[in-house]
Amino acid sequence: MGNKIVCLDCRKTFNQGTDFKDRREGVCPECGKGMLLLPHLFKPPRKNDDKKWDVVKYLIDNGFHYHHVYENIEHRNGVISYQNYVPYPDNIRDAKEFVEKYQAQKVKLIDKSSDNH
């Protein structure tokens, strides 16, 4: 169990362990493109399983980077309660429903190119 760096093009995955001080993204040794850092929830499919890799790419492209997603999030008196982890889908039909249903929980990436520093 630990973080992984992943090349979606080459379908290469490397374990990063659990040392959060040493979290890094890498460069794929096969294609030279940047690799994504994904959390321990990501379980890579077999390299030749095209359909499952398509699901992985679809989920990541839509903001779901294998972080925890919850069935229920309640807000009461300023307290947020998270209930029931939702498993990540493994087929494209379920992935589309998942993205639609949990859209509010997707990762919102920061566009660093628009910074005016």
pLDDT of residue 114: 46
Q: What would the mean pLDDT of 68-90 be, rounded to a whole number?
A: 81
pLDDT, one tens digit per residue, over 8-23 is 999 999 888 666 565 5
Instruction: Give the DSSP letter string of 1-66.
Output: --EEEEETTTTEEEEEES-GGG----B-TTT--B-EEE-TT--PPPTT-HHHHHHHHHHHHTT--S
**pLDDT band at residue 91, thresholds of 50, 70 and 90?**
very high
pLDDT of residue 116: 47
3-state secondary structure of 88: coil
pLDDT of residue 49: 97
CA distances from 70 to 24, 32, 41, 74, 82 (A): 26, 35, 13, 10, 6
